[in-house]
Amino acid sequence: MKITNGNVSFDATNLNTDDPGVELMQKLTTAQETIIYTVSDQIFVSQQTFNDDEVPLENQRTEPKYEKIKPNGITNLSIFPEHNIIPGGVHYWSVPGAIKVQGNVIISGNAKWEDHGSTLKPRASVVFHELWENYERTVNRQFYSQAHAKAIDAELRFKSTLDPRCSNIAGYGNRVP
């Protein structure tokens, strides 16, 4: 990986490009959209209002403000809304346009999760899943349900590599207090 003038590049030469981790890095570093990963307990967000045709309304974005991260310790923001928009225009959280980022995965530095049971979920597995999901939402304009399913598929492929950073159950976990 190389950073030049704020741009990240990833050379996959001599790497197994079928590996889901390599594939994700290639996707993130070649996308025109900017997707970032942040470790924080606060998020910097605004709301956007959409019209009946699911188009963002001009000048209908609130001023960005800081808020606490979601209770599960993960906030996954994209310029693309999470769900189909209800006719009449609904507010959706999105990353503020002022920071020139189209996608942002924010995960609390103190959060821990367990698979449905008592096994601690590796942080790498959570980060992998959330970044893949954000890529699908931000770059491929997928709603949450489709993006989440694709992230689970990728996570299952990652697990098949027997990497110890994979969780037992792809895509789901409960926050440990």
Q: What is the pTM of this model?
A: 0.83
CA distance 48 to 101: 15
Say if residue 136's pLDDT is above 90.
Answer: yes
Residue whose pair of structure tokens reads 């959330």 in the numeric block:
130
Residues in the chain: 177
Res. 31 pLDDT band, cuts 50 70 90: very high
Residue whose pair of structure tokens reads 């990652």 in the numeric block:
158
Give the per-residue pLDDT at 57: 64
Nearest one of 161, 162, 154 to 170, comparing CA atoms: 154
Query: At CA 106, angle to CA 23 and CA 47, rounded to 5?
Result: 110
90-125 pLDDT tens trace: 445 666 555 678 888 999 999 888 887 668 888 999
Res. 59 pLDDT band, cuts 50 70 90: low
Indicate the burial class of 9 (C-beta count within 10 angstroms; 0-12, 13-18, 19 or more).
Answer: exposed
Give me the mean pLDDT over the 148-176 stretch.
84
CA distance 33 to 95: 12
CA distance 163 to 22: 13
35, 28 Cβ separation under 8 angstroms: yes
Please give the residue that has the higher pLDDT: either 31 or 174: 31
Say if residue 65's pLDDT is above 60.
Answer: yes
Q: With b meaning 16 or more CB within 10 Å and e meaning fewer, what string describes 44-67?
A: bbbebbbeeeeebeeeebeebeee
Mean pLDDT for the chain overall: 81
113, 126 Cβ separation under 8 angstroms: yes
